[in-house]
Chains A and B, each alone.
Chain A
């Protein structure tokens, strides 16, 4: 068995050794509660605030506008529910059909509570048109939530334009930027973004920690109660070592340094895969993050391809774990059939991906696609269209 080739950085990423060292040092020596007033607590508080400053610096925010959470899912829930909670039964939310599940499921929960939600569609290249968002706005719209980098296609949404038109209408814009940091520049302080969700584990930081940027003047209702931590927005004892890990990960995550290398790896992979007859890339090739490549292999069943690849870790555009496989809502939202969406894989590269791994992975994919297509020779047209 060969060593696993990990091409699933958009799902999660390995911990950078420097991050692990910082966390380990914290765990070994600083157990204090950052809210305590004694010396141990103050040392822990200092570490948390230093980490907060690192996170803030990476995204162009003032440190006091960064609030730690358990991850982007909690941050997204806090952003949506916290924005809508005080707006009453007539509140309205605008989001898109291709958001991460943590946004879509939060939106559906709000719908069940009586909030009206408009889901703006994406076009065939996975782009949400600012004009479509503008048309969806109502007098009672309390929030617009549009992701920055799509987690399946890597397409970068035009959040600056969307934010500008939201600001003109007095509506705050929430941006899920879980895939952005370290890959594409993000400067919330210079943009019309009001609220922004962040996470650590996509960028070689630890799982279980994220943050929410909340611009000055934006008010959110806390969704957890039990303490005044994070200025009352997020109750619960701060996990100092997690914050330290996120701070270190964000300090290391420089898109100017990493993005060109990631884009070169992604492009090298596509150059090899494009030799397969019928393959297609999904998403706008001109406006996408450097680390994600989403490819459809017509005529190849997705679960079988993932299984056949075995030691090449990739993700599907779909989940085929049940009797009724559910095709990727992102890809079908871009107009792909269920069959093509299910025949798609997401490859995502990261800090520790090598050129040699790209070559080996591409060779495996080419061979397995050929083998599975041979097994399906004579299959009906719907398997390929």
Chain B
């Protein structure tokens, strides 16, 4: 009887230990999975709140070959603030250098609705007035819940 009670106790403790270990493992793995899903969701949310569009007339984009200067105006059309020092421009297939930026209007930060003027140089290429080129713009937002959103758009413009 005493042996039976001891073995029952051992079985109970073993059962509890196994259940505890299994539960801990499952909860830990679920936690990791949930974190990954949360991060992916926050990234998707940040990306959906990050948008921009061309504000200048795509039919009349100023280009000066001697000074290698392409003038572009980009409006923040998303709901997050954009970083004006982290912009990527690809003009006519060439990664371009952003030489100068300035916000139009009175704003000091690139918030929703504000327009940023960019002076861009696509090095090593020759373009002429009347030529139609594709410009790709890549922008990045300020951190949203610890994650920065990204957005890119391409537009065909005619140089003047």
Q: Do A and B bind each other?
A: no
- Could you tell me which B residues sit within 8 Å of A by CB distance? none
